[in-house]
Structure 1
Amino acid sequence: MGISRTHKSSNGVSTKWVFLFCIASFLLGVLVVNRFWDIPDPGQMDDEASSLKKDQLTAKHPTVDCQKQENAVQAGDILSQVSQTHDVIMALDKTISSMEVQLASARAAKSDNENVSPMVIKSGNEHLKERPKVFFVMGIITAFSSRKRRDSIRETWMPKGEELKKLETEKGIIIRFVIGHSASPGGVLDRAIEAEDEQHKDFLRLNHVEGYHELSSKTQLYFSTAVAMWDADFYIKVDDDVHINLGMVGSTLARHRSKPRVYIGCMKSGPVLAQKGVKYHEPEYWKFGEEGNKYFRHATGQIYAISKDLATYISVNRHILHRYANEDVSLGSWFIGLDVEHIDDRSLCCGTAPDCEWKAQAGNPCAASFDWSCSGICKSVERMEEVHQRCGEGDEAIWHTSF
């Protein structure tokens, strides 16, 4: 009863032996760990810590390349100066635009030999090489049957002979009667024009078959040919039954000389005529909406002017520009969708006397005069001299006007 006994586990193993076995296992584990797991050197640990800290500092404060920084500062200064100098930007833009126009004109000139009448190809090639710089080119659209109209213009507002040459050299103004050829080239009609041109030397011949219903094509070809021959600020189309004051035309254009894309004339928006057999009938009336609609705004066809960029645009794209029945409508349609400024100048569509006289007395002299009822001067051959006397600015005005 009083004698103590060693306790045994349920499986018969003494508790004492279990305790001793646990201690032995622990000591063996410590021995194995110390043998195979090398403890890092404290110095090496410091180096690794320093390297890690250095990497962190580099990430926060990257190294700066002084040379690159200096170059960036210089570039920044240049960009800053350019962005702050409006005149420099405008000059660069104007230069680039001018180069683009010259390139387009050169391309157009290269292919425009085929559009010039064979009789002027030689002289045309000389112009294509030089492309003299002028103020404006005025093309007077005429026909084979209009000899008397041309003579009435030569005797009134259009200089002739040496005066015409002087106008070109001193004022940079080119004036030509624009005409194509007959359906039978070399026939009596063409020979008559050749003889007239030999006498006055004031024609621009086109490779175009004359006909009333071909005015859109003729106008398009006129601008293309004129651009190829002269580097002008403006190109003007005039009918051969309109009276012109050249000094006033020049003054009018000079006010818009700095604008790249201007379309100047008396703007209108007449009805689209769907009825067959009437004058100015539009076969493609359905393109303009429902019957009874009006055309878009465009300059009346008696006279209008366009700037060099627009004339070049017509020349470059002439093969894909659509032509409607009426040439003034065609021209207006070519500028839809373009960044073009329409200038509605009523001095280009004054009536004949007394309208032109009243406006001159009021200090608003006319640049062009005609009768709306006739879409030109009624009976212009008989009345051009009278209109010139009553509506003209004076024969010497053009020589005393500065542009």
Structure 2
Amino acid sequence: MGLMPTSRYQKGGGGVSTRWVSLLCISSFCLGVLVVDRLWGTPDTVKPDKEGSSVEKRQEQDPELVVNCEKKESSLHVGDILAQVSRTHDVIMNLDKTISSLEMQLAAARAAKTGNEERSPVVTRPIVEQLEHQKVFYVMGIITAFSSRKRRDSIRETWMPQGDELRRLEKEKGLVIRFVIGHSATPGGVLDRAIDAEDEQHQDFLRLNHVEGYHELSSKTQIYFSTAVAKWDADFYIKVDDDVHVNPGIIGSTLAHHRSKPRVYIGCMKSGPVLSQKGIKYHEPEYWKFGEDGNKYFRHATGQLYAISKDLATYISVNRHLLHKYANEDVSLGSWFIGLDVEHIDDRTLCCGTPPDCEWKVQAGNPCAASFDWSCSGICKSVERMEEVHQRCGEGHGAVWHANF
């Protein structure tokens, strides 16, 4: 059945049980008519000849031949019925897939409409922009905060195109790159006005209907994917932190290998310990859900950078009000895919170290898609070091324009 939007199980939403009952009733009726017509219908009239009926004549000539012919004719009837049943089943399955696809699209559209209606006046965009649903290859959202202006500038000065080049990248290559941020607890305050001014200058933000806060990263990630799906029709949606070095062209080439797969979750997979002790970084208040003390999380992509396909981003958008959020954002995302038919892809080129690690790989002809320091969960002192990492591990200014997606 694939990924089922929640709306299919709600009253009045065209639920699965109601739809299947209807389909089975239709198919049962058709099959019943077919069987009755084949087995109990009025036989064709056989015109008798002068010497008696054709059946009586054949019985007199060769009784065994008549029995064999009747068996063969009965077998043909049964074969026809089974073929009809098989074709009916195929039609039902194709119809169900079509309905599932339409329901997913409808639910996503409704979620997008609700999201737009709920937007804060501070972050509301013009109607024309809200209706835009451009087809692109990937959307890369760089998660950032009010206090991270210097980090954003270090990215703008290195691996993220600016101005006309950024818009050309979207138009010609289908690559969308945006800084992602919500609003403050006091909408319209000094923090929001500062972001408004920065956005007017660079035009490289995606604003969310979300109150910023460190302990709200899971919610912010969820709203980011929902907002991005509503705005762009992309093959992939990427989340990256603002202290990570990225090679956009190599990211595109990496994702292109998985373009034909419907539900993929790509990143550097890990399974860290569940931390139950209060007051420490990455403490998990709901540690008891993961079993005994000392247990590890399920496999999930590390939060510095990961990508998901369109179906998964749509799934998050449709079911966002039901998806549970744990303390750690990367754990939350991984939990949303547990139990779904999702392919987890562990790609270590998305988590190379900073020089000399990524530099050696460039010299070997295998440049990395992303680089950061595990010890800092990002590039240590990224504002000061981003330029160095870019010079030694970057893909080159023109590489993204020559990459094939």
TM-score bracket relative to the smaller structure: 0.7 to 0.9
Gapped regions of structure 2 (runs ≥ 5): 1-51, 60-65
Q: 2:304 aligns with which of 293, 299, 302?
A: 302
- Mapped to 1, the partners of 2:95 and 2:401 lie a distance apart of 35
Specify whether residues 259 and 186 from structure 1 end up closer, same or farther in structure 2 by C-alpha distance, changes over 3 A only.
same
Question: Post-superposition shift, 1:94?
Answer: 8.4
State the 1:97 CA deviation.
6.4
What one-letter code is carried by the residue in structure 2 that aligns with 1:108? Answer: A
Q: Name the aligned partner's letter for residue 109 of structure 2.
A: A
SS of the counterpart of 1:295?
coil
Q: Which of the two has higher C-alpha Rg?
A: 1
Correspondence for 1:359:
361
Return the letter of the residue paired with 2:106: L
1:178 aligns with 2:169: no
Q: CA deviation at 1:361?
A: 2.3
Contact 1:127–1:230, Cα closer than 8 Å, also in 2: no
Q: Identity over the aligned pairs, expressed in percent?
A: 79
Q: Which of 144, 148, 153 is the equivalent residue of 2:150? A: 148
- CA distance in structure 2 between the partners assigned to 1:311 and 1:342 by the alignment: 15
Cα deviation for residue 294 of structure 1 reads: 0.4
Paired AA for residue 233 in structure 1: D
Q: 2 CA distance for matches of 1:247 and 1:91?
A: 38
1:256 to 1:206, Cα distance in 2 relative to 1, 3 A: same
Distance 1:369 1:93 in 2: 44
Cα separation, 1, equivalents of 2:350 and 2:251: 8
Distance 1:363 1:99, change over 3 A: farther
**2 CA distance for matches of 1:115 and 1:248?**
37
The Cα shift of 1:99 comes to: 3.9
Aligned pairs (5 A) from 1:100-111 = 100-111=103-114
The residue correspondences of 1:326-341 to structure 2 (distance < 5 A) are 326-341=328-343
What are the residue-to-residue correspondences of 1:202-241 with 2, within 5 Å?
202-241=204-243
Q: Distance in 1 between matches of 2:109 and 2:275?
A: 39
Corresponding position of 2:125: 122
Give distance in 2, aligned partners of 1:260 and 1:153.
Answer: 31
Deviation, 1:357, is 1.1
Deviation at 1:363, TM superposition (A): 2.9
SS at match of 1:121: coil
Give the superposition deviation at 1:102: 2.5
Partner of 1:373: 375
Give the Å deviation of 1:187. Answer: 0.6
CA distance in 2, matches of 1:93, 1:150: 46
**1:1-400 correspondence to structure 2 within 5 Å:** 79=87, 99-123=102-126, 125-400=127-402
Structure 1 unaligned regions, length at least 5: 1-49, 84-89
Q: Alpha-carbon deviation of 1:92?
A: 9.3
Q: Is the 1:117–1:205 Cα contact (8 Å) retained in structure 2?
A: no
Q: 1:369 to 1:236 in 2, by over 3 A?
A: same
Count of aligned pairs between the two proteins = 337
TM-score with structure 1 setting the length: 0.77
**SS of alignment partner, residue 385 of structure 1:** helix
In angstroms, what is the RMSD of aligned CA positions?
A: 3.2
Partners of 1:186 and 1:119 lie apart in 2 by 6
